[in-house]
């Protein structure tokens, strides 16, 4: 990598300014890889110092992180399992971000999606498994979609800040979930852990053949790819980005901003709702308080680290999945507390946000004019 | 790339350490691969549920030839499945203690089916014949200790108003509230227990609010059933009220205010389990007990406990230990005036009816829903 960077710089200094070199032509793309990469390396460096202060060897740290996250096939499966829900919940923040909206309520959409999917599965017990699964996926996406659409509608028609409303909707979703799970939807035999009835072993989504990773990963990758195409390769996506850039200009050129907001919010919520459906259909087999595991909140982090790019969400989710997968090994081998993983996530977040200031300011990548 | 060389060297070092480790293990008293894994849902120094288990794990660490690996703050999702697998695959664990209630079904059951040679022991679950044979559940009748706390609280309270900060109205919690109240009424027949449910296992802010609100209503002795009693104990002591602890001994947090407390005695049970396993006898799949089986204990009395209270409490404790005493002995009314245990009916500790408890006894102020 270093040599690639070094040579063309000299080349471009020699070459006349009129002919931009490789680096200048692809400067934008290179920045998108180089800056977050450097931020990550910087964050790991600072975390190494932090760990050294606790008397642990930072090289051990990096080794165990690598081993726990990507070192073996088992580690990879561990990482991908953890990444799967994050891809979907990250889309819940990344999609509205195209419109300039900051939605942080993916957790609520996940819970509503899980609840809707469970309700459908329990009322479709007579149907063949494939029908039940399709019904669950549809219900999860509609449930989650409507939930975030609510935040979008509040913003569009009532001027309520969507960040606050989507966050508060998380607590409402959790309260509804607890109310139903401890009330009408409770399985009377779930004494000490109030839960709904099980959706039935036959209706569970299996793993991707040859792995332990559930199908949620594939759904996530498909959803992220579809979102990317929607945003960057359709007129709808173009309209959304125009509205995100300048909402007044969008209105002046006649874009239906309200419709854009509601549609994008619905799609965003549908992604998180699908994550909830997968948690029920592939992991828990029922709905209970376990579902509020914070995937929705980690998804926000993933979306910001991916700079709200739906496609970049995939590698970032795999990165954060890896960090969380290696957390266990850090606890067991180095005796670090669990909080150390959160410290690392925090450091990465700060570095990536701070590195935002570098875009367009790296001399050798700038187009000459 | 300097980085690559370093990680390779570390890989070799790690491998060497691993070989050395197992070579040392082979020479010790137990089989070379007696690695035991502990998984906690919260932090292991929470002065509560998780710390109680960590104390049990610490007792195992003292046994030569036993290696203990621990992981804290593992959510009740597929993350715990991956943690169990990681302990089995990377650490070679042959006995696992996933200690949180929500780990049991589906997570631990799934792993027990997948790894039939590994032994799984779950705290609090209800193992039944249809569950895998290499899995088991254990729990303690800690309401016996709450009964003793109740007696001490009844003698110590000047207002006759006791307070209980509880997580959820589920059988295990209701049983503690009821036993505490019945104990208090032995000392002061007019004593009442005001209960506040916070809604979840770890809600420090709500626990502090509940503590303050109880004290504002004239309550002068408090106890609790939440994962981390620290908040209640410190706040109550700060306000000048007395406390009875739960899970572990919290007297270091409030030396003057601490009366006694209902504690787990995992440090006695876990070495017993290991002995059963290594002797080839095997751990029973379903294990329950109270004072007699040394699964629970009470904290040493604080200085504020009167001689009269100590004597009465010690007498009852002695009878419970020999098994000649019944806490839930008819007639018992619920707090709505309905008879729940008729005169002449004794519900002994192992009575399955008690596992389904859904009422609050006379003298408790509060409602289950």
Q: What is the pLDDT along chain B (369 residues), one digit of tens a residue?
A: 333 344 444 444 444 444 433 433 333 444 456 899 999 999 988 999 999 999 999 999 999 989 999 999 999 999 999 999 999 988 899 999 999 999 998 999 999 999 999 999 999 988 889 999 999 999 999 999 999 999 999 999 999 999 999 999 999 999 999 999 999 999 999 999 999 999 889 999 999 999 999 999 999 999 999 999 999 999 999 999 999 999 999 999 999 999 999 999 999 999 999 999 888 888 999 999 999 999 999 999 999 999 999 999 999 999 999 999 999 998 999 999 999 999 999 999 989 899 899 999 999 999 987
Distance from CA of B145 to the nearest CA of A (A): 20
**Given this model, what pLDDT does residue A347 score?**
92
Asked whether residue B1 is assigned to any structural domain, the reply reads: no
More confident site: B48 or A3: B48
Q: List, in sequence order, every residue forming a beta bridge with B287; answer none if it has no partner.
A: B138
Q: Are residues B129 and B186 in the same domain?
A: no
Is the per-residue pLDDT at A6 higher than 80?
no
Dmax (CA) for chain A in angstroms is 79
pLDDT band at A368 (very low <50, low <70, confident <90, very high): low
Q: Are residues B51 and B75 in the same domain?
A: yes
Domain boundary among B140, B161, B187: B140
User: Does A215 reach chain B within 8 Å, measured CB to CB?
Assistant: no
Instruction: Report chain A's mean pLDDT, rounded to a whole number.
Output: 89
**CA nearest B100 in A: which residue?**
A193
CA B69 vs CA A141, A277, B57, B138: distances in Å:
40, 33, 9, 20
- Other CB atoms within 10 A of residue A119 CB: 18
Asked whether residue B293 is assigned to any structural domain, the reply reads: no
Is the per-residue pLDDT at A68 higher than 60?
yes
Residue B73 DSSP one-character state: S
Q: Are residues B87 and B197 in the same domain?
A: no
pLDDT tens-digit map of A232-286: 999 999 999 999 999 899 999 999 999 999 999 999 999 999 999 999 999 999 9
Gap between the Cα atoms of B94 and B97, Å rounded: 10
Q: Are residues B306 and B321 in the same domain?
A: yes
CA A67 vs CA A322, A326, B7, B67: distances in Å:
10, 7, 10, 21
State whether A332 and B69 contact (CB < 8 Å). yes
Full DSSP string of A100-165: T-----HHHHHHHHHHHHHHHHHHTTTS-HHHHHHHHHHHHHHHHHHHHHHHHHHHHHH---HHHH
Question: Exposure pattern of B37-73 as b/e (b: 16+ CB <10 Å)?
Answer: bbbbbbbbebbbbbbbbbbbbbbbeebeebbbbbbbb
What's the pTM value of the predicted model, to 2 decimals?
Answer: 0.86
**CA nearest A330 in B: which residue?**
B71
State the total domains in chain B: 2
Question: Exposure pattern of A278-296 as b/e (b: 16+ CB <10 Å)?
Answer: bbbbbbbbbbbbbbbbebb
Residues 6+ apart with CB under 8 A from B47: B228, B229, B230, B233, B247, B248, B250, B253
And the tokens for B81?
A: 């499945």
Of the candidates B71, B102, B171, the beta carbon closest to that of A332 is on B71
**Given this model, what pLDDT does residue A334 score?**
87
State whether B71 and A68 contact (CB < 8 Å). no
The arithmetic mean of pLDDT across residues A170-175, rounded, is 96
**CA nearest B356 in A: which residue?**
A191
Alpha carbon A131 to its chain centroid, in Å, reads: 28
Residues B49/B42, Cβ–Cβ less than 8 Å: yes
Domain span at residue B220? 143-263+298-365
**Given this model, what pLDDT does residue B16 score?**
42
Distance from CA of B304 to the nearest CA of A (A): 35
Q: Are residues B160 and B308 in the same domain?
A: yes
- CATH class of the domain comprising A84-335: mainly alpha
The arithmetic mean of pLDDT across residues A73-96, rounded, is 96
Alpha carbon A127 to its chain centroid, in Å, reads: 32
Gap between the Cα atoms of A227 and A292, Å rounded: 25
Q: Are residues B244 and B156 in the same domain?
A: yes
Is the per-residue pLDDT at A151 higher than 60?
yes
Backbone angles phi, psi at B162, to 5 degrees: -110, 155
Q: Are residues B241 and B163 in the same domain?
A: yes
State whether A78 and B86 contact (CB < 8 Å). yes
User: Does B331 reach chain A within 8 Å, measured CB to CB?
Assistant: no
State whether B106 and A293 contact (CB < 8 Å). no
State whether B102 and A288 contact (CB < 8 Å). yes
Domain boundary among B116, B140, B164: B140
User: Does B8 reach chain A within 8 Å, measured CB to CB?
Assistant: no
Domain boundary among B140, B167, B190: B140
- Measured N-to-C along each axis, helices A313-334 and A339-355 cross at an angle, to the nearest 10 degrees, of 140
User: Does A197 reach chain B within 8 Å, measured CB to CB?
Assistant: no
Residues A293/B77, Cβ–Cβ less than 8 Å: yes
CA A29 vs CA A22, A227, A238, A302, A312: distances in Å:
11, 19, 19, 19, 12
pLDDT band at A35 (very low <50, low <70, confident <90, very high): confident
Write down the domain spans for chain A: 1-56+336-369, 84-335
**Given this model, what pLDDT does residue B18 score?**
41
**Given this model, what pLDDT does residue A161 score?**
96
At B50, which helix (H) or strand (E)? helix B49-61
Dmax (CA) for chain B in angstroms is 81
Q: What is the CATH number of the domain that holds B228?
A: 3.40.50.2300
User: Does A68 reach chain B within 8 Å, measured CB to CB?
Assistant: yes
Q: How long a stretch of residues is chain A?
A: 369
pLDDT tens-digit map of A9-31: 444 444 444 556 777 777 777 88
Is the per-residue pLDDT at A152 higher than 50?
yes
Using DSSP's 3-state secondary structure scheme, residue A91 falls into helix
User: Does B209 reach chain A within 8 Å, measured CB to CB?
Assistant: no
Asked whether residue B12 is assigned to any structural domain, the reply reads: no
Is the per-residue pLDDT at A218 higher than 90?
yes
Asked whether residue B91 is assigned to any structural domain, the reply reads: yes
Residues A54/A237, Cβ–Cβ less than 8 Å: no
State whether A329 and B200 contact (CB < 8 Å). no
Report CA torsion sign: B207, B209, B210, B212. positive
Residues A298/A107, Cβ–Cβ less than 8 Å: no
State whether A60 and B10 contact (CB < 8 Å). yes
* Chain B neighbors of A192, CB-CB under 8 A: 101, 124, 170-172
Q: Give A200: exposed, middle or buried? Use CB within 10 Å, 0-12, 13-18, 19+.
A: middle
**CA nearest B10 in A: which residue?**
A63
Asked whether residue B6 is assigned to any structural domain, the reply reads: no
Gap between the Cα atoms of A366 and A50, Å rounded: 35
**Given this model, what pLDDT does residue A352 score?**
85
**CA nearest B45 in A: which residue?**
A337
Gap between the Cα atoms of A68 and A77, Å rounded: 11
The arithmetic mean of pLDDT across residues A311-332, rounded, is 92
Of the candidates B72, B200, B355, the beta carbon closest to that of A331 is on B72
Q: Are residues B154 and B91 in the same domain?
A: no
Share of chain A above pLDDT 90, in %: 68
Q: Are residues B76 and B126 in the same domain?
A: yes
């Amino acid at each position: 990598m270093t040599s690639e960077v070094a040579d063309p710089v000299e080349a471009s200094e020699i070459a006349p300014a009129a002919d931009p070199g490789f680096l200048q032509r692809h400067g934008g793309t290179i920045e998108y890889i180089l800056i977050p990469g450097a931020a990550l390396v910087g964050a790991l460096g600072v975390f190494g110092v932090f760990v050294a202060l606790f008397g642990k060897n930072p090289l051990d740290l990096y080794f165990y992180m690598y081993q726990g996250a990507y070192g073996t096939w088992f580690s990879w499966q561990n990482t991908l399992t953890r990444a799967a829900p994050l891809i979907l919940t990250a889309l819940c923040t990344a999609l509205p971000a195209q419109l300039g909206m900051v939605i942080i309520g993916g957790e609520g959409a996940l819970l509503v999606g899980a609840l809707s999917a469970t309700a459908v599965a329990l009322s479709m017990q007579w149907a063949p498994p494939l029908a039940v699964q399709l019904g669950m996926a549809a219900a999860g996406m509609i449930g989650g979609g409507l939930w975030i659409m609510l935040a979008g509608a509040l913003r569009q028609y009532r001027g309520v800040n969507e960040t606050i409303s989507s966050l508060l909707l998380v607590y409402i979703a959790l309260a509804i979930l607890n109310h139903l799970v401890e009330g009408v939807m409770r399985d009377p035999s779930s004494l000490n852990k109030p839960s709904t009835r099980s959706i039935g072993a036959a209706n569970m989504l299996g793993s991707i053949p040859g792995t332990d990773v559930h199908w949620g990963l594939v759904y996530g990758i498909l959803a992220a790819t579809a979102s990317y195409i929607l945003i960057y390769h359709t007129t709808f996506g173009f309209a959304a980005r125009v509205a995100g850039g300048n909402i007044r200009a969008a209105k002046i050129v006649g874009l239906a901003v309200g419709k854009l907001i509601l549609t994008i919010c619905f799609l965003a919520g549908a992604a998180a709702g699908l994550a909830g459906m997968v948690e029920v259909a592939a992991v828990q087999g029922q709905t209970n308080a376990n579902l509020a595991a914070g995937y929705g909140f980690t998804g926000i982090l993933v979306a910001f680290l991916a700079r709200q790019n739906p496609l970049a969400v995939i590698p970032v989710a795999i990165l954060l999945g890896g960090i969380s997968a290696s957390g266990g090994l850090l606890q067991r081998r180095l005796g670090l507390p669990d909080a150390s993983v959160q410290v690392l996530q925090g450091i990465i977040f700060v570095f990536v946000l701070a590195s935002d200031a570098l875009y367009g300011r790296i001399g050798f990548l700038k187009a000459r004019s | 790339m300097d980085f690559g060389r370093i990680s390779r060297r570390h890989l070799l070092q790690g491998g060497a350490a691993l070989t050395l480790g197992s070579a040392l293990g082979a020479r010790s008293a137990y089989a070379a691969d007696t690695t035991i894994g502990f998984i906690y849902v919260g932090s292991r120094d929470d002065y509560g549920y998780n710390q109680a288990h960590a104390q049990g794990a610490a007792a195992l660490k003292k046994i030569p030839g036993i290696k203990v690996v621990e992981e804290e703050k593992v959510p009740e999702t597929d993350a715990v499945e991956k943690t169990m697998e990681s302990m089995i695959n990377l650490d070679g664990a042959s006995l696992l203690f996933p200690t949180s209630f929500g780990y049991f079904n589906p997570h631990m059951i799934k792993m027990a089916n997948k790894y039939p040679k590994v032994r799984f022991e779950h705290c609090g679950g209800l193992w039944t014949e249809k569950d895998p044979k290499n899995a088991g559940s254990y729990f303690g009748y800690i309401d016996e200790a709450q009964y003793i706390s109740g007696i001490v609280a009844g003698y110590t309270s000047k207002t006759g108003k006791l307070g209980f900060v509880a997580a959820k109205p589920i059988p295990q919690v209701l049983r503690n509230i009821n036993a505490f109240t019945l104990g208090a009424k032995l000392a002061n027949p007019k004593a009442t227990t005001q209960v506040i449910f916070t809604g979840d296992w770890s809600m420090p802010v709500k626990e502090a609010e509940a503590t303050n609100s109880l004290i504002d209503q004239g309550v002068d002795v408090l106890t609790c059933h939440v994962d981390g009693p620290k908040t209640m104990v410190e706040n109550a002591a700060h306000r000048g009220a007395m406390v009875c602890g739960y899970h572990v001994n919290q007297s270091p947090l409030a030396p003057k205010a601490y009366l006694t407390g209902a504690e787990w005695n995992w440090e006695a049970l876990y070495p017993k389990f290991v002995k059963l396993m290594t002797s080839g006898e095997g751990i029973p799949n379903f294990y329950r007990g109270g004072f007699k089986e040394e699964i629970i204990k009470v904290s040493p009395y604080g200085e504020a406990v009167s001689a009269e209270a100590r004597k009465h409490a010690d007498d009852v404790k002695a009878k419970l230990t020999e098994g000649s005493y019944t806490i839930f002995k008819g007639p018992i009314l619920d707090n709505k005036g309905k008879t729940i245990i008729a005169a002449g009916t004794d519900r002994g500790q192992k009575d399955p009816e008690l596992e389904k408890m859904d009422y609050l006894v006379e003298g408790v102020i509060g409602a289950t829903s």
